[in-house]
Amino acid sequence: MPTTGVRPRVVRTAPNGLTKEQLYLFNEGSSYHSYRFMGAHLIKRRGTGGVRFAVWAPNAAEVRVIGDFNRWDGRKHVMERMGTTGVFSLFVPKIGEGELYKYEIVSADGSAIRKADPYAFYAERRPGTASVVAGLGGYKWNDAAWYESKRKKPAYSNPLLIYEVHPGSWKIKGKEMFLTFEELAEQLVPYAAELGYTHIELMPVAEHPLDQSWGYQITGFYSVTSRYGSPKQLMGFVDECHRHGIGVILDWVPGHFCKDDHGLRLFDGSPIFEGADSKRAEKPLWGTLAFDFGRSEVVSFLISNAIYWMDVYHIDGLRVDAVASMINLHMDKPPELFTYNALGGHDNLDALRFLKKLNETVFHYYPDTLMLAEDSSAWPAVTSPTYLGGLGFNFKWNMGWMNDILRYMALDPPERAHYHHLITFSLLYAFSENYVLPLSHDEVVHGKRSLLNKMPGSYEEKFAQLRLFYGYWMTHPGKKLLFMGGEFGQFDEWKDGGMLDWMLLDYDMHGGMLRYVKSLNRAYADLPSLWERDSDPHSFQWIDVHNAEQSVISFIRRGFLDYTVIIANFSGNDYRDYRIGVPEPGTYRSVINSNDIPYGGTEAQPQLGYRSESDAWHGHDQSISLRLPPFTFLLLTLDPGDTH
C-alpha cells in the first residue's frame, strides 16, 4: 500500500500553518512530498474553513491571490513572504472546493503577471487557464489485494504486457467529446483485461493547453486534465484497473514544459523553473523549455510530482519521457544553442544527478514501482542500481530493436536476405539492460503509417506479415508494449483528433487479427519461458541464426522449468520440408500458428504436433520436419505426456 511519507521531525511552525522544516527541505531539494503544503489546501484556521495558498516565487516583489471570490482584484489578498525561502502564503477564509484562482505576481520591475498554480490539483477546461481548488481526500480505495499481489510478483520475473492508450482518442462520443475516466473504467478496463494485458499505460494526463501535444507539453504537472474528468474519477479508473488485475503506468514528462503565458515560463518574471541560461533552457524541436535540474526547488517540485501520482492516485509506474534529451545538452539543438558542462562535455550532469535521485527516492517509498526510461541514447547502465553507477531505472525501452525490426519488416521480402542482421543483431545486447520492446504511438503517426500498413505486399500479405512480426516480438527477450489499435490491425495511422477505427472489426481480417493477438497474449501469460528469465542470457538459444538465404530464424526460449521452440519465416516462400534441431525427443505441440484460418491465415487443417526424429540437426541429436508457409510464425512446446 502507499506509504505515509517522510519520517516524523521536530516541527517548528511558520505562518499559515506551514513549518520551517517543510520550507527548509523544499529549498534544499529534499522535499519529496511538497504537494502536501504547496498549492491550494482546504484547511480550518481558528475554527473557520478556507483555503491556504502557498507558491514559490523567489524574485517577486509581491504575490497576490486572485479569483472569483475577490472579483480578480489582487489588492484584496496580498500573500505573506515566508522569510528568505522564496515562498509566499495566505489563508483565505470562507472559500472552498471549486473556486477558480490564479496568482498575480508583481515582478522585480513592477509589472504584474497572472499565473496558474504550479501545484494546483485541478484546472478549468481549456481554453480557460485558471486553477481550481480541489480536495483529494475522501476516496475509498479497494485495491489492498492488488498491492499484496504486486509485492509477491516482481516485474523482472513475471509477464509485463503493456497496452499504451491515448485517452482522448481510444474512443470518443463526438468531436472533442472525450470519454471520462469513469467511462474509460467501464469500457477500456474490461477490454484490456479480456485481451490479457497486465498494464495500461496512459499517455500524459496532466493538464496541457494543446490537444495536439498529446499531453507532453504540460502547464499543470499536478492537475489531472479536465478533458477526462475529475481527480476522483481518475482514482476510480485506477481502482477499477487494479480490481481487474491491471497495473497503471503514467507517461511522465520531467524534461520540459510549454511556454504558455499562464504556465511555468518566467514564473515570477524571471526564469526560476527553466534557469537563467537560455541556450540550455531552449528545446527548439518542441518549442518548449527544459527544467533547471540544478536548482534544488525544481528538484523538490519534480520528485514530489512523481511521488504524488503514486501517493494520491496509486499509479504503479512512470514511463519517463525523453531521457536522452534530458541527459544530452546538445540533443536536437543547432550548434548556436550548444552549452557545455563544467568538465567541457555535453552530458547534462545536473539531469544525471536528478534522475539518480528520482529513482532512489521512488524506490525508497515504492519498491515495487515500475520506472521505465524512454531512452534512445547509448548511455550505459540505465537499468543498473545507482550504487553500482547506474541511473537506477528498472526498465528501458529497447529503441534499437524497434528501429531495426521495423526497417526490416518494411523491406520487400526478396530484399530481406541481404539485411538478415536486422533481426539478429539485437541479441548481441538484449541482456545488457532490462528491456521493454516498444511498439508505441511514435511509430504510427506523422506519416510513418500504421504497423499494418508498414508491411509490404498485398492486403492478405500485410496481415500475414503483421501476425509474423507480432509473434517474433512476443518471443524476443524483453517485456512488451503495444499502442492501441495495433491489436486489431488499425490500417490508417493514428489520428489524435478522432478515435480508433473500431468499424474495422466488422471485417474478417481485422477480427482475425484481434483473435490472434488475444491468443498470442494468452500464450505469453501461460508460458514462463517467455518472461521468467528475460534478463538472463542463458534463457535464449539460437537453433539457426544464419539462414539469411531463406529468411528464416529459429530459437529456443527457456524458463526455469519449461522451454519453447520458435520458428519464423520472413520470406514469401513456402518451405514444405523445413527441418530444425530440437533439444529432446518427443512430440512438439503447436501453441501458436499465425497461419491458422481463425486468425486470417490459409491453413484449414494445420499440423498440431511434430514428432521428433533421430536425425542430428543444428547441433542437436533430435530434429523435426515441418511445413513453413510464407510469412508464418510457429510457437511449439514439448508435450510432456509424449516422449520417446
Residues marked active site are found at: 321, 374
Whole-angstrom distance, CA of residue 269 vs CA of residue 278? 14
Three-state DSSP class for 30? coil
Whole-angstrom distance, CA of residue 620 vs CA of residue 344? 54
Dihedral pair phi/psi, residue 453, rounded to 5°: -80, -5
Kindly report the number of other CB atoms within 10 A of residue 381's CB atom: 16
Three-state DSSP class for 635? strand
> Are 298 and 276 within 8 A, CB to CB?
no
Whole-angstrom distance, CA of residue 578 vs CA of residue 569? 10
Looking up cell 495495433, which residue turns up? Answer: 486
Query: Cα dist. 604→131, 155, 596 in Å?
Result: 61, 38, 7
Dihedral pair phi/psi, residue 562, rounded to 5°: -130, 170
Q: Using CB atoms within 10 Å of the CB of residue 98, give its burial: 0 to 12 exposed, 13 to 18 middle, 19+ buried.
A: exposed
Whole-angstrom distance, CA of residue 12 vs CA of residue 342? 38
Looking up cell 484547511, which residue turns up? Answer: 43
Looking up cell 502507499, which residue turns up? Answer: 2
Kindly report the number of other CB atoms within 10 A of residue 193's CB atom: 18
Per DSSP, 420 falls in state T
Kindly report the length of the chain: 644
Dihedral pair phi/psi, residue 573, rounded to 5°: -100, 150
Pairing assessment for the beta strands 435-439 and 479-483 based on DSSP bridges: parallel
Beta strands across the sheet bearing 587-593: 540-544, 552-558, 563-569, 633-638, 587-593, 609-611
Query: 558 - beta bridge partners?
Result: 563
Reading the block at residue 262, the C-alpha cell is 499562464
Reading the block at residue 50, the C-alpha cell is 478556507
Full 3-state SS string of 112-178:
EEEECCCCCCCECCCCCCCEECCCCCCCCCCCHHHHHHHHHCCHHHCCCEEEEECCCCCCEEECCEE
Q: Using CB atoms within 10 Å of the CB of residue 577, give its burial: 0 to 12 exposed, 13 to 18 middle, 19+ buried.
A: exposed
Dihedral pair phi/psi, residue 275, rounded to 5°: 85, 160
Reading the block at residue 570, the C-alpha cell is 520472413
